[in-house]
Amino acid sequence: MGNQPLFHLAFPVTDLDKAREFYCNVLGCSTGRESQEWIDFDFFGHQLVAHLVSAKDHPTVTTNSVDGHAVPASHFGVILDWQDFENFVIKLEQSKVEFVIDPYLRFKGQRGEQATLFIRDPSNNYLEFKAFRNIDTLFNKDIDNT
């Protein structure tokens, strides 16, 4: 794990068995500690903790318009290597995962070119996976975001 800090995120799910099925069998995560009310997932080297909540207590999602897409304001995910992203898209398609926002390129041909997609887990939590053509542009402020 080296010196790179690891990210930890706790999030609500309405069914732990469906969460386990999705995060392990579809996304390829492994599990760590767990109880009857939560499960730790190794999410691309980071710790996700799915906490069981009732459906009435699960938050609703507001969206923002980005590139003509209704992007869920509440979402999480990872930035993959370009080839890993392309392979991940194939894996999702083979698993018949429904895309909330189909894979597409943002800033095509520009310095900040990136591939992105959105999916939803069984509890309606939104996940974004992306890849940058040049990872060095990840935090550049001089990229036109309009």
What pLDDT score does 144 carry?
Answer: 58
Same domain, 120 and 86: yes
What is the rounded average pLDDT of the residues 63-75?
91
CATH of the domain at 96: 3.10.180.10
Checking if the pLDDT of 32 tops 80, the result is yes
| Statement to judge: residues 71 and 134 lie in one domain | yes
Does residue 41 sit in the same domain as residue 68?
Answer: no
| 144 lies in some domain | no
Q: Specify whether 91 is located in the same domain as 117.
A: yes
Q: Is residue 146 part of a domain?
A: no
- Per the structure, the count of domains in the chain is 2
Question: Mean of the pLDDT values across residues 97-115?
Answer: 94
Report yes or no on 105 lying in a domain.
yes
pLDDT tens by residue, 43-62: 999 999 999 999 999 988 89
Separation between Cα atoms, residue 80 and residue 82, nearest integer Å: 6
Average pLDDT for 67-81: 93
Based on the domain organization, do 68 and 15 belong to the same domain? Answer: no
The answer to whether residue 1 scores a pLDDT higher than 80 is: no
Residue 81's pLDDT is what?
96
pTM of the complete model beyond 0.85: yes
> 7-25, pLDDT tens digit by residue?
999 999 999 999 999 999 9
Same structural domain, 66 and 18: no
Domain that includes residue 8, residue range: 1-53
